[in-house]
Amino acid sequence: MPDSVYLDHAASTPMRPEAIAAMVPFLAEHPGNPSGAHGASRAAKTALEEARESVAALCGCTPHEIVFTGSGSEADNLAIKGAAWAARARDGGLDRIVTSGVEHKAVLGACERLEREGFRVTRVGASTAGIVDLEALAGAVDEHTGLVSVMLVNNETGVRQPVDEIACLVRERAPGAVLHTDAIQAPQWIDFAPVVSEVPLVALSGHKFGGPKGVGALIVRDGIPLVPLVDGGGHERGLRAGTQNVAGIVAFAAALRITHDRRAEETARIAVLRDALERGFADQIPGFAVNGTPDARVAGILHCTFDDVEAETLLVALDQQGVMAASGSACSSGAVDPSHVLLSMGMPRRRALSSVRFSLGYASTGNDVDAALAIVPEVVAKLRAG
């Protein structure tokens, strides 16, 4: 059995070897600033634009529509704040934002900030299956709506949201609104290019699919007005000032390429591992239940409840045994409150506090599953007995 079992890939996935290989030369050998004029700068600029072209081809958009950022959270914030500010500047009546209660904290936090600035924010709930309430969303979107934001794949439950239906709804009910989706958990599991064709603003993050931390991207379709968060030298179409992280961007592009090329094979393999883990828990642990509909989950996430066990206590005990998992978003680690995602799904507080996320990725193996099945049931039984 492995010395440690990493089952927190939804928080961060190890870098792919191909991404590391692409990154290293721009850390050690090529120091140029891509905005400069000399040879080293031209080499950096060439690498930057080749990476942009590669990412655009995989996303089904033009290179001009790719804006590189410092993280997925920054991409979400640029989309939400930038679109809301632009809508208000264009038409003061477009002051309404509609989102869901199961969004990542980057989205909800940006909406809260805008609410303090006078925007009206409506947050719709989700079903017990984890799918956004489309009827409530339709009722919330109106002619005063400037922005709608619904994620593609939930980072806690792994449930895919019907973004294509939402795109149609927004076009019909709010012609002046811009739709944004946090697609950060999507590239490793689904072909998201069709979503890009329907959604004007799409956020990505490199370290979720084997790229480095500290680099993200926002797809901004042509004609979509945004107000930048960071002003400066006009980098990234004037939407994200600051010298680009060339090494990180090159690695981001390499990881996305490998993820795309191996997606079908890896998704099928990982789904088998996830299902084996789920069956093993169900067979060995009384009071075990899966959260989120199995019909709409991506392959790598198992979000589940262990009755009468506090999740944070369980995670500490598992970590001591070398099994690494999470109770939800890594951005909420250390929080004693139950997951806002589970509460928005109507889950009772007590059950939400007993829920844990196990997430697999390209590096996961059958040995990881075997080790987890040997350790988790025993730890749960000891905690219940204690």
* pLDDT tens-digit profile, the chain (386 residues): 678 999 999 999 999 999 999 999 999 888 888 888 898 888 989 999 999 999 999 999 999 999 999 999 999 999 999 999 999 998 888 999 999 999 999 999 999 999 999 999 999 999 999 999 999 999 999 999 999 999 999 999 999 999 999 999 999 999 899 999 999 999 999 999 999 999 999 999 999 999 999 999 999 999 999 999 998 888 999 999 999 999 999 999 999 999 999 999 999 999 999 999 999 999 999 999 999 999 999 999 999 999 999 999 999 999 999 999 998 655 544 556 899 999 999 999 999 999 999 999 999 999 999 999 999 999 999 999 98
Output the pLDDT for position 30.
81
- Which residue type occupies 24? V
Please confirm, yes or no, whether 59 is among the known catalytic residues.
no
Output the pLDDT for position 139.
97
Question: Which residue in 61, 111, 304, 331 is the catalytic one?
Answer: 331
CB 295 within 8 A of CB 157: no
Q: Which domains are present in the chain? A: 5-14+263-385 (3.90.1150.10), 17-257 (3.40.640.10)
- Tell me the C-alpha distance between 185 and 300, whole Å: 10
Output the pLDDT for position 31.
84
pTM of the model: 0.95
Other CB atoms within 10 Å distance of the CB of residue 38: 9
Output the pLDDT for position 1.
62
- Tell me the C-alpha distance between 288 and 369, whole Å: 17
